[in-house]
Amino acid sequence: MAKRSSFKRSVLPTLLIYVGLLAGLAFATFPILWMLFTSLKSNTEIFALPPRLLPKQATLEAYFTIFRDPVKVRFFLNSYLIAGVVTVLTVLISILTAYGFSRYSFRFKGALNVFIISTQTVPPITLLIPYFGIVVALKIFDSYFALILTYLVFTLPYAILLMTGYFNTLPKELDEAVLVDGGSSWTALWRVIVPVSIPGIVATSVYTFLLSWNEFLFALTLTKSTSLRTVPIGIQLLMGQHAFEWNEMMAMSVLGSLPLLLLYLFAQRYFLAGMTAGSVKS
């Protein structure tokens, strides 16, 4: 009897954990499955009652419609271009800035840190009208440059904080070994610090790309030409006054999610890798 009671006490918590995990998995994956299966339905079947998760007759017509439309293809190219440029610039600037914050002491260093942190407390939507005025005044409205410059303002502070925190975990003996061998701080940064900071750089890149790819409000406000629209705006444009192209909306959502999913799958191994382990011999 005592063994049975002990067995129940040991199995029940584990069972509850698995039930909770399965419930969370179902809650998280159901919208994704609904989006995927809806993209495989005709627009007529989508409005059929009662609603069905699985399509009666799967079709790729929504995807073909998107690929045949150069305007919709341009949405994806714009998103790739803007998110890619913002990611590269953010990573480069944040590496240089974070290395300075991590390795050097200078005047107003504390004040600059506080300022960078404080920028993260301001809701971006409150800056929409001021940025619109600045962009118009600089005569860069409705341009790639306007979006890239605006996105940099939002991605850089967090990227600098993230990279500074990562560089702080790296021993200064790495830099000193390069200096002893006659190298410079620039050599130490690019030949030693950056290679062992790949996990931090990848995390920064993923965060920046996700933020730039998914951004909607500023992309809608700071551009007006269809040729400059991004994927989130393209999905919104499928919502007409009298009809919604739900299957195309879901197909664009699936295609828009794939780069993010692939990026995460690629970066996951770097998040888990301890690339700084053993970098300094004890």
With a cut of 70, which residues of the chain have pLDDT below it? 1-10, 240-243, 270-282
| Other beta carbons within 10 Å of 3 | 7
pLDDT at position 4: 58
Spatial contact of 132 and 221, defined as CB atoms under 8 Å apart: yes
In angstroms, the Cα distances linking 67 to 34, 64, 76 are 22, 5, 10
Spatial contact of 81 and 213, defined as CB atoms under 8 Å apart: no
pLDDT at position 279: 40
Spatial contact of 55 and 40, defined as CB atoms under 8 Å apart: yes
pLDDT at position 121: 83
Q: Which residue has the tokens 């199995």?
A: 11
Residue-wise pLDDT for 73-127, tens only, equals: 999 999 999 999 999 999 999 999 999 998 888 888 888 888 888 888 888 888 8
- Spatial CA neighbour of 90 closest among 25, 4, 150: 150
For residues 248 and 61, what is the distance between their CA atoms, to the nearest angstrom? 9
pLDDT at position 276: 39
pLDDT at position 87: 94
Question: What backbone phi and psi angles, to 5 degrees, belong to 69?
Answer: -100, 110
For residues 218 and 241, what is the distance between their CA atoms, to the nearest angstrom? 23
pTM of this prediction? 0.84
